[in-house]
């Protein structure tokens, strides 16, 4: 017998008639058939219904669960709720919701009225709390179970249905810890949300749509939200189910449910006392309830958002909760984090934790400062400007403490190019996260990152970043100087990629010279550009043009920044080194001697790391001694000095390309 909920009239018998019918009714027995199903055993019983394991032989062979309204004396509202439950199950198509397979009524007889029933897939599982204990579920598995529970309940919410009685006994789990399957059962007291879609659905449910009377108890007090415990049925919505899931989380992690009052002085508590306990329930953070510090942070926040007293402060429905649990599982930032917790910054820092171990003190200062500033965000909007200033100052202090990360032989804090690139990448990510990619500090950290990548021989990445920065600078009229500098650095990046990029680099160098000329003032980077041009000409085997360019770079430095400036001496060193490579050893030696004039050379072994000028001086001295050795003009003392200086430079910069040549000359 098939049941049509829309046309089923509500019972109209009075209480006396119902009692008489109940007294005469025969109970269902095992082995009886209901429709195509043979009852095998009773597996669950409620106040007015019973659930059997049943066997179906045709047209398919399978075992199912059959729920029957066994008490014929129940009032019309209970019967209507039972009828509505099967209609609601038919509305939701999700593997986490027990599906409606079939429904109807039992055969009516003189000793038994027709009883409504419906069949569902048989779920052979444990209640969620017992399953977790039985398989020793880890924290990650318990969170996965909660996520799948939220997905299932979210499917009901999407269909406009609120369960209203979520508790461990209504959540069954099957499978093992690797792939738990969660099924939500018993929608007997579910409520239809009063949305437009739900209202249209309710019209199809017909007379089985029930209006819960204000002040009636619906649900289990121990897992009720405050608004449900206050018997304010009109306020019960999807957020009430979210609250119940939060309490289930408390049970799974701490083995207790706050606000539970079943027994008072050895006597079973009254319904009123249980409802008052649920209504006034105060929840400590989950990590405190479970005495587990590993639950602090995201998990604490997620459960706290579920169990907020104000329904508007909770997740809007179980789908939003499932999304946040997924984000946490996949390592993404969660939505439940307090806005003033500095969580977004901490998340970025954690993602780059390997590189930031070398600057942990500076990063800790950033986090501490952000936490302090966050406490004042609730005050006047004017404090936001102050927050930006303080963050910028701290980032600048941290940046200065790192010293330059690019270039060679400059006394870098990080001598390993790979480590330097990793730290530069992390610092740039922090800047972007805190103050935005367009901030001047972020643009500067991007330049530092490009230099570090170039130094680490990651030229393709460096070139791409230089081109992006150059394009951005060219679009800003007030950044002509930055465009000239970035053009110079891009030329160097292309030059380091070999002769195949040299001609392209020469074209970019000419554009950079035009920018410097338009600026109308001398900059140190213009001297660097002239040296880069000379190196490119040498790569193209235009030796005469290359020497003229090296000489022009030296003359520019001598005229504009003085003959004794370290950049001038370096430019002269480049010229002398070119002469050495061309075989003009006498001219090269004279150039190195002139570059070294007036400088004191440190003696090896060095007591402390050499600074930039000291390294230049030692390099010039090594070149002079190496030429003397090649020309047969070096004494044993000269050779010993060259060997000692070579060892000292190698200890400070083992990647220096000149070391092997100096060692060979000293033999």
Q: What integer best gives the mean pLDDT of the chain?
A: 82
Rounded Cα distance, 491 and 497, in Å? 10
- The DSSP symbol for 97 reads B
Cα–Cα distance between 13 and 376 in angstroms, integer? 66
Question: What local confidence, expressed as pLDDT, does residue 269 receive?
Answer: 78
CA–CA distances in Å: residue 528 to residues 479, 490, 525: 19, 12, 5
Q: So what's the pLDDT on residue 413?
A: 45
Q: Are 173 and 131 in contact (CB under 8 A)?
A: yes
Helix/strand/coil percent split, the chain, to 5:
60, 10, 35
pLDDT of residue 75: 59
The angle formed by the CA atoms of residues 599, 604 and 608, to the nearest 5 degrees, is 85
The confidence score (pLDDT) of residue 109 equals 74
> Cα 194–196–197 angle (5° rounding)?
100
* Closest of 255, 234, 243 to residue 165, by C-alpha: 243
> Which residue from 268, 245, 293 is spatially nearest to 149, judged by alpha carbons?
245
Q: What is the pLDDT of residues 496-510, one digit of tens each?
A: 999 999 999 999 999
pLDDT of residue 72: 61
Quick one: pLDDT at residue 409? 35
Q: Residue 201 has what pLDDT?
A: 45
Q: In 396-539, where do the E strands start and end?
A: none
Q: Are 335 and 327 in contact (CB under 8 A)?
A: yes
DSSP characters over 568-627? HHHHHHHHHHHHHHTT-HHHHHHHHHHHHTTPPPPPSSPSS---HHHHHHHHHHHHHHHH
Q: What confidence score (pLDDT) does residue 403 get? A: 44
SS3 (DSSP) at 68: strand
Cis geometry, peptide bond prior to residue 59 (ω within 30 degrees of 0): yes
How far apart are alpha carbons 564 and 558 in whole angstroms? Answer: 8
pLDDT for the residue numbered 278: 87
Grouping H, G, I as helix, E, B as strand and the rest as coil, residue 517 is helix
User: How far apart are the C-alpha atoms of 435 and 420, rounded to whole Å?
Assistant: 22
According to DSSP, residue 376 is labeled: T
Is the CA virtual torsion 593, 594, 598, 601 positive or negative? negative
Nearest Cα residue to 631 out of 595, 580, 594, 593: 580
pLDDT on residue 477 = 84
Listed as ranges, residues in the chain with pLDDT below 70 are: 1-27, 71-75, 110-111, 194-217, 233, 262-267, 340-341, 344, 348-359, 362, 373-384, 387-388, 390-392, 394-415, 521-522
Q: Tell me how far apart the alpha carbons of residues 451 and 407 are, in angstroms, rounded to a whole number.
A: 7
d(CA 603, CA 334): 58
pLDDT single digits (tens) 26-77: 567 888 898 899 999 998 887 788 999 999 988 889 999 999 987 665 657 7
CA 573 – CA 544 distance, rounded (Å): 17
384 dihedral zone (left: phi>0; alpha: psi -120 to 50; beta): alpha
pLDDT tens string 1-18: 333 333 333 333 444 444
Q: How many CB atoms lie within 10 A of CB 448?
A: 22
């Amino acid at each position: 017998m098939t049941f049509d909920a829309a046309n089923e009239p509500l019972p109209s018998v009075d209480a006396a008639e119902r009692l008489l019918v109940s007294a005469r009714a025969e109970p269902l027995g095992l082995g009886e058939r209901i429709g195509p199903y043979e009852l095998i055993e009773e597996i669950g019983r409620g106040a007015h219904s019973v659930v059997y394991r049943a066997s179906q032989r045709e047209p398919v062979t399978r075992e199912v669960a059959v729920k029957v309204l066994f008490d014929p004396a129940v009032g019309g509202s209970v019967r209507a709720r039972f009828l509505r439950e099967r209609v609601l199950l038919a509305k939701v198509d999700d593997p986490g919701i027990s599906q409606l397979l079939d429904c109807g009524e039992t055969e009516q007889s003189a000793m038994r009225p027709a009883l409504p029933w419906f069949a569902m897939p048989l779920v052979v599982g444990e209640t969620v709390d017992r399953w977790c204990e039985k398989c020793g579920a880890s924290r990650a598995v318990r969170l996965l179970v909660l996520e799948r529970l939220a997905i299932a309940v979210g499917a009901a919410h999407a269909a406009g249905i609120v369960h209203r009685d979520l508790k461990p006994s209504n959540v069954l789990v099957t499978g093992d810890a690797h792939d738990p399957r969660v099924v939500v059962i018993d929608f007997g007291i579910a409520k239809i949300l009063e949305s437009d879609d739900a209202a249209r659905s309710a019209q199809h449910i017909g007379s089985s749509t029930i209006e819960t009377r204000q002040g009636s108890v619906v649900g289990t007090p121990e897992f009720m939200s405050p608004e449900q415990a206050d018997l304010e049925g009109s306020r019960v919505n999807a957020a009430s189910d979210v609250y119940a899931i939060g309490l289930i989380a408390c049970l799974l992690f701490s083995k207790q449910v706050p606000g539970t009052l079943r027994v008072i002085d050895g006597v079973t508590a009254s319904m009123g006392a249980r409802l008052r306990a649920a209504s006034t329930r105060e929840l400590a953070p989950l990590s405190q309830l479970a005495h587990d510090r590993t639950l602090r942070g995201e998990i604490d926040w997620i459960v706290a958002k579920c169990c907020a007293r104000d329904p508007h402060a909770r997740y809007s429905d179980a789908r939003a909760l499932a999304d946040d649990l997924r984000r946490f599982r996949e390592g993404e930032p969660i939505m439940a984090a307090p806005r003033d917790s500095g969580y977004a910054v901490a998340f970025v820092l954690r993602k780059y934790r390997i590189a930031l171990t070398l600057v942990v003190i500076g990063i800790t200062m950033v986090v501490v400062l952000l936490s302090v500033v966050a406490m004042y965000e609730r005050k006047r909007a004017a404090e936001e400007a102050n927050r930006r200033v303080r963050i910028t100052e701290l980032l600048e202090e941290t940046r200065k403490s790192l010293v330059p990360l690019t270039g060679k032989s400059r006394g870098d804090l990080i001598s390993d190019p790979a480590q330097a690139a990793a730290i530069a990448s992390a610092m740039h990510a922090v800047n972007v996260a805190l103050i935005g990619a367009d901030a001047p500090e972020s643009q500067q950290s991007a330049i530092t990152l490009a230099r570090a990548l170039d130094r680490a021989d990651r030229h393709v990445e460096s070139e791409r970043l230089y081109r992006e920065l150059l394009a951005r600078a060219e679009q800003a009229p007030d950044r002509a100087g930055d465009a000239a500098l970035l053009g110079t650095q891009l030329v160097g990046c292309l030059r380091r990629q070999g002769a195949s990029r040299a001609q392209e680099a020469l074209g970019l160098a000419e554009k950079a010279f035009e920018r410097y000329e338009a600026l109308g003032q001398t900059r140190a980077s213009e001297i660097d550009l002239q040296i880069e041009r000379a190196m490119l000409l040498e790569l193209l085997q235009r030796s005469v043009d290359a020497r003229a360019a090296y000489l022009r770079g030296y003359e520019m430095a001598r005229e504009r920044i003085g003959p004794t400036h370290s950049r001038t001496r370096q430019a002269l060193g480049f010229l002398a080194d070119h002469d050495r490579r061309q075989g003009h050893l006498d001219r090269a030696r004279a150039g190195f001697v002139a570059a070294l004039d007036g400088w004191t050379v440190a003696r090896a072994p060095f007591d402390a790391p050499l600074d930039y000028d000291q390294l230049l001086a030692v390099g010039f001295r090594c070149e002079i001694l190496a030429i003397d050795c090649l020309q047969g003009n070096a004494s044993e003392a000269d050779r010993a000095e060259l060997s000692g200086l070579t060892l000292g430079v190698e200890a400070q910069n083992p990647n220096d390309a000149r070391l092997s040549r100096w060692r060979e000359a000293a033999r």
